[in-house]
Structure 1
Amino acid sequence: MSGADAAAGSELGREPYLPPATQPVRGLVWAIHLAVPLIGLWLLLAYPDRLNVRWEHPPSHFWLIVSVAGVNVVLGLMISQAAARRRDARLFLVSLVFLSSAGFFLLHGLATPTVILDKGSYGFDIGQPVGLMVAAVLALVSSLPLSDRAAAAVLARADLMRAGLVIVLVAWGWASLVEGLTPLSSPPPPGGATIGFVSWIGAAMYAVSAALMFRIHRRRPSAMIVSLMTAYALLGEATAASYFRPNWLMSWWEWHILLTLAFVFVGYSAYIQFRREGSSQGLFDSVALAATVRRIQGQYDEALEELVSHLRRMAELGAVSRAPVAIRLAGKFRLNEGQAAVLDRAGQALAAERELSARLGALVDVGRQARVGLGEEALLAGALERARQAYGDVRIGLVSNGQVLIGARAFGVDDFKEVESIAGGGVVVHPLTVKGVLAGALEVPVGTTRQDEALAATLASQLSIALENARLYRELETLFRQYMSPDVAASLLADPDQAALGGSLVELTALFADLKGFTSFSERVPPGEIVEMLNRYHTVAVPCVLRNGGTIVQFVGDALLALFNAPAAQDRHAAQAARAALEMQEAAEEIAAGNPGYPRFRIGINTGLALVGNIGSPELRGFNAMGDAVNVAARLEGLAEPGTVVIGGTTREQIGKAAKVRPLGDLNLKGKEQSVEAFVLTALD
């Protein structure tokens, strides 16, 4: 794809934008306005005797030409200034369209008979058609979707092109106004001078230019682009009308009128837009190239960002006046007072919108941070940090000795009985409650919009809920979780339906452990020493199971049952159970070494299918596992020697070569018709 094609794709887009509503009606009216002059020309030529009469009045011609040329020069200079300000190649080329046509139009007027020359001249006849032809070439180039490279090349040669146009105009004026110097200042041939088919080429170029401008208008609707389209179309009609001779007939006057209408139409559109916007800075921005429009939009975005940032700083400082930023933006972006005021109001609205979005986002984040398991201090610290980003200097105080201290202010329980919040000193204080009882307070700066008070109250409510949840969870941590496995507790908290009676068939690894000689030890020592011994053993055994992902589902006297791969899934549950068992034996041996009379752990492990779920009654239930795999684990534990770990064949098969074992052969276990292969686990790589 060429650079021009790429520029065209970016400027026009694949899906052109068509303004809704009355666009077809406007197009019809526009077409009728352009068709009326052509119908008039046809009538003049079709009925030459009655309509196409002769009216020769050089003064009227001269002053008409001078007036329109003046309008044209003003427009050309304004567009040229806009081109220089925006560094835009299209605006520069459009300015040359107006300046070149104005120059040739003025020379045509100066060549009017009796002004400088006594009689008509060849230059008088063809001056304006030549000027229209030059302007047609510039109009066509200006309507093309110029690539960045082409636009840069045009701007790099801008001074050269202006100088060239001036030289051409000076040379043409010298040649056509100095009598006897060149054929241009001589009388025209009989019947008048003409440039023939060249006029039709110029008219065609104007038509193409208007069509290309229409494509830009579809993508970027603008009254100024419409006026430029109209001007190109009228210039094209004037070029075609200039073909018909002789001079001073109504058909000859018509193309003068068309030229006048073309330039006056653009001037009037510029005036209306100036009245609407109050400034000439952006009159022709819509005509610029797409890259220039994007750059202008970026500048306005920058202005709004600067304005919003300034408003936020002023709000934080408690200042009211915004005059400095308005003055700075007006100077930086060349805005008048009205535009600066509009931008100031827009900035205030945008700042308020952003503050609202930021505070809503803070509410969402505070709710998201209040997750299960997060400590109260961490919860409040995270919520405070996030709230300060959106609300400013937010403070939180908790109840201590019946009072809430926030800075130098103290609040009691009775302070919030009759009111929902307490305002004063530029801040609003909202209560934080836990189960309807005052637990703290939230201090928020007074907002600038009517939504701020409601948002602050919502934030306080959100923090109250989070604080209550954190404290309830802490109670669960100290009570609920100490009476069951963390995995079971977490599953029930996430999905209470899992507490329903029933279960599912799962492959798991069951670990049974008990103390060999516990009965005889219990007969010898008092009950208090029994409890102390059990607690010491379980204190070191439980972390070994939990650290390896196991779930302890039963404590029965000196025995415990742990499951791996239920309820929490594990990829290598057999190996994890074996590692937990070896760690348990190592930790238990350290206790037994210092207490020679203590019984010692023996452990049995087996892997297989089991029914896992809640077993019991609607009034009381427990999480457990049932099945042959669990029964075999219990039997292997009963055959194990103190201080050893016995595993079944399925467990060893799943662990693989990492298990260092001593075979026990095929064992006949109680309640089993078939023998079970068993091994003593000595180590695990």
Structure 2
Amino acid sequence: MPTNDPTATADTGGAGREPYLPPATQPVRAVVWTLHLALPLLGLWLLLANPHINVEWHHNPSHFWLIILVAGINVVLGAMIGQASARRSDARLLLVSLVFLSSAGFFFMHGLATPQIILPNGSYGFDLSQPVGLFIASGFALASALPLNERAASAVLRNQAWLRGGLALVLVVWGVLSLVPGLTPLSSKPPALGAGLGGAELIGLVLYGVAAVMLFRIHRRRPAAMLISMITAYALLAEAMLAGMYHRNWHLSWWLWHLLLTFAFVFVAYGAHIQSRREGSTAGLFDSIALAATVRRIRADYERALEELVGHLRRSADSRVPVATRLAGKFGLTEAQAAVLDRAGEALANERELSERLGALVELGNRARVGLPENELLVQSLERARQAYGDVRIALVSDGTVSMGSAEYREGDFPASGPVRSGDAVVHPLTVKGRLAGALRVPVGRTPQDDALAATLAGQMSIALENARLYQELETLFRQYMSPDVAKSLLADPRTAELGGELVELTALFADLKGFTSFSERVAPAEIVEMLNRYHSAAVPIILGNGGTIVQFVGDALLALFNAPARQADHAAAAARAALAMQEAAEKIVATSPGYPRFRIGINTGPAVVGNIGSPQLRGFNAMGDCVNVAARLEGIAEPGTVVIGQTTLDLIGPRAQARSLGDLSLKGKENPVHAYVLSALM
């Protein structure tokens, strides 16, 4: 595939980043390039400022063959770029081809008008042919450098027949008028200093200069050698227009603009020759000059071709030649390039395979950390592994044996915990705490890294299986003895178990059973335990369901926190909802067991220090602060079956609360009275 793939010329600059500049536009080479363009102008100035060195050299054959040679080069370049335009359906390439064809046509007319070839003497046509051709070409040059949108590009392509036909007609008419003796003034002898186009030559110079600058801006976005060649050619053509304005026929300054024209077109031809030799093909030679939309389309074609090749290589390694041949024909590749593409495609397929498998390993590692149930983890992991590795199979140990199809494996069947070969696959042991827990069968042989990747997959699956079982054990243990939020915090970061705390605004909920002591005196201990379990079995899900964290069970009492350790935006209302729901559940219990005591609940909101309190040997998660003490006091004054809340809690809940004021209360341990309310409902 040609190395002039437009993907290599994509804009690599982002926000705040300078685009990459190839060697032709790096600082030192840019200076050399500028000097090359400045030297001809310096030579022109020296010749015009020193007439004694601006000597006349009149040699018609040399002039004729120079012109014919350069015109021929232009015709070839114009035809090649025209073919590229047709192949890519690109308006810019069409306009560039017209630059070369128009200058070639009029250059050829200028050569035919050389004295003593067709006409015996010089003529207006001889003097004007090349300036006219360069002026027409300058218009095409400017148009080719414009950032044509889709509508303008389509209009140019629709009218390409008129553009080419019109140019051909102008050349034919010009040839007849300037080469038939005596037909028009164009075939007559001009003044001694020759004829010119006046201001049109200056306009042409400006158009070439603007076109060169605009092409350089394109080059900054997507650097390419052919763009540099075109920029240099347009700059030299602008200098040729300037040199030709002096019309000192057959003097060295007159020959100078012929040489500038020659250098301009030979520079492009030489650049194309070098690039085609390096790539071994002319396909894609002028793609870098094309419009941005065409470059994107070409890039998409290459991407689709590579995807097609990679997909074909992955499906069948024995039938690659037809695909390589088809791609070679599509992109104009040589046999050697098709072979390189074939090897590159195979390498890309292997790399894609490796990337997919590494991606699968990353996903499996992530899933091993989320605490999924074992069966769900294995199903999801196996599905993902099969997408990347093929027909992967897994089986767990039962009675010390792993049954996988007709084969059975025991711990001693895996030497040094290594794999066992099974046809075109390897079977790796899965271990948990160093003991055989299962086996994993992975296909191998498609890529050189298969064995290593299979071992890595087996290791990852062993880790996932062990984590799932360990997580289940810890979760079961923790959740039975502490709030889920505290358990999650400890599992995620064991450092949260360290002694200490932080100041947090929270809502504390205290609840106990009024009459519990007298009830305990009347009944047997087993009935006390049954009663407490019934109440707590009803209360705990309600508190947890509203985002609360239960931090204490003390006999018949419990303390729950809201907004700690897990944060809640509406923690006061959440605590209120939980308290009302607890009373409703307690009423249902009392209705079936009339002698049972009833809940009384106190709620208060304020700042408190939350964290682990205790000693290095034994600690517990709790909250300390005045707001917690007040909640306990409000619970103590509450009547059975009611919920008493503090002023701060009511303020946070707002008008949603239906509450009856109890006035200012003097609470034990409080110097100032506390205003409290009986909460009856929450809207």
For the aligned pair, the TM-score class normalised by the smaller chain equals 0.7 to 0.9
Distance in 1, matches of 2:169 and 2:420, equals 80
Distance in 2, matches of 1:56 and 1:675, equals 120
1:441 alignment partner in structure 2: 439
Moved more, 164-173 or 450-459: 450-459
1:91 aligns with 2:93: yes
Distance in 2, matches of 1:361 and 1:574, equals 45
SS at match of 2:192: coil
2:5 alignment partner in structure 1: none
Structure 1 residue 80: deviation in Å?
1.4
Are residues 594 and 126 of structure 1, via their aligned partners in 2, closer, same or farther at CA, if it must alter by over 3 Å?
closer
2:512 alignment partner in structure 1: 513
Distance in 2, matches of 1:682 and 1:191, equals 116
Give structure 1 stretches of 5+ with no counterpart.
Answer: 1-9
287, 294, 297: which is aligned to 1:295? 297
Identity of aligned residues (%): 63
Moved more, 138-147 or 40-49: 40-49
1:619 alignment partner in structure 2: 617
1:499 alignment partner in structure 2: 497
Counterpart contact for 1:73–1:102, Cα < 8 Å: yes
1:329 alignment partner in structure 2: 327
Counterpart contact for 1:278–1:336, Cα < 8 Å: yes
Distance in 1, matches of 2:201 and 2:279, equals 39
1:379 aligns with 2:377: yes
Structure 1 residue 160: deviation in Å?
1.4
Distance in 1, matches of 2:96 and 2:540, equals 86
416, 419, 422: which is aligned to 2:420? 422
Structure 1 residue 368: deviation in Å?
2.5
1:270-296 CA deviation, whole Å, 9 max, x = no partner?
Answer: 222211122222222222333333333
Structure 1 residue 569: deviation in Å?
4.7
1:132-182 CA deviation, whole Å, 9 max, x = no partner?
Answer: 333344334434444554444433332112222211221122223333333
SS at match of 2:416: coil
2:6 alignment partner in structure 1: none
State the one-letter code of the partner of 1:512: A
Distance in 2, matches of 1:667 and 1:236, equals 98
State the one-letter code of the partner of 2:617: E
Counterpart contact for 1:199–1:240, Cα < 8 Å: no
Give structure 2 stretches of 5+ with no counterpart.
Answer: 1-10
Counterpart contact for 2:60–2:115, Cα < 8 Å: no
Structure 1 residue 413: deviation in Å?
1.3
1:18 alignment partner in structure 2: 21
Moved more, 630-639 or 60-69: 630-639
Report the aligned-residue RMSD: 4.3
1:562 alignment partner in structure 2: 559
Structure 1 residue 338: deviation in Å?
3.9
Are residues 241 and 603 of structure 1, via their aligned partners in 2, closer, same or farther at CA, if it must alter by over 3 Å?
closer
Distance in 2, matches of 1:242 and 1:307, equals 54
Counterpart contact for 2:145–2:211, Cα < 8 Å: yes
1:645 aligns with 2:642: yes
State the one-letter code of the partner of 1:303: A
Structure 1 residue 112: deviation in Å?
4.0
Counterpart contact for 2:579–2:643, Cα < 8 Å: no
Structure 1 residue 461: deviation in Å?
2.8
Counterpart contact for 1:199–1:243, Cα < 8 Å: no
1:473 aligns with 2:471: yes
State the one-letter code of the partner of 2:475: E
Counterpart contact for 1:604–1:635, Cα < 8 Å: no
Q: Map 1:138-217; keep pairs closer than 5 Å.
A: 138-186=140-188, 188-189=189-190, 191=192, 193-195=194-196, 197=198, 200-201=201-202, 202-203=204-205, 205-217=207-219
Distance in 2, matches of 1:664 and 1:16, equals 74
Counterpart contact for 1:11–1:145, Cα < 8 Å: no
Aligned length: 666
Counterpart contact for 1:648–1:676, Cα < 8 Å: no
Q: Compare CA radii of gyration and give the structure with the larger one.
A: 1
1:431-456 CA deviation, whole Å, 9 max, x = no partner?
Answer: 32221222223333326555554444
Structure 1 residue 76: deviation in Å?
1.5
Distance in 2, matches of 1:302 and 1:190, equals 63
TM-score, structure 2 normalization: 0.82
Structure 1 residue 625: deviation in Å?
5.3
Are residues 581 and 223 of structure 1, via their aligned partners in 2, closer, same or farther at CA, if it must alter by over 3 Å?
closer
Moved more, 115-124 or 76-85: 115-124
Structure 1 residue 649: deviation in Å?
5.7
Structure 1 residue 545: deviation in Å?
3.6
TM-score, structure 1 normalization: 0.81
Structure 1 residue 219: deviation in Å?
4.2
Counterpart contact for 1:397–1:405, Cα < 8 Å: yes
Structure 1 residue 470: deviation in Å?
2.0
Are residues 42 and 436 of structure 1, via their aligned partners in 2, closer, same or farther at CA, if it must alter by over 3 Å?
same
1:481-515 CA deviation, whole Å, 9 max, x = no partner?
Answer: 21233333333333434434455666543323237
Counterpart contact for 1:644–1:680, Cα < 8 Å: no
State the one-letter code of the partner of 2:22: P
Counterpart contact for 1:503–1:612, Cα < 8 Å: yes
Counterpart contact for 1:100–1:165, Cα < 8 Å: yes
Are residues 533 and 135 of structure 1, via their aligned partners in 2, closer, same or farther at CA, if it must alter by over 3 Å?
closer
Distance in 1, matches of 2:276 and 2:452, equals 44
1:195-216 CA deviation, whole Å, 9 max, x = no partner?
Answer: 2646853555545544544444
Counterpart contact for 1:100–1:131, Cα < 8 Å: yes
Structure 1 residue 38: deviation in Å?
5.5
State the one-letter code of the partner of 1:367: G
State the one-letter code of the partner of 2:67: I
State the one-letter code of the partner of 1:82: A
State the one-letter code of the partner of 2:469: R
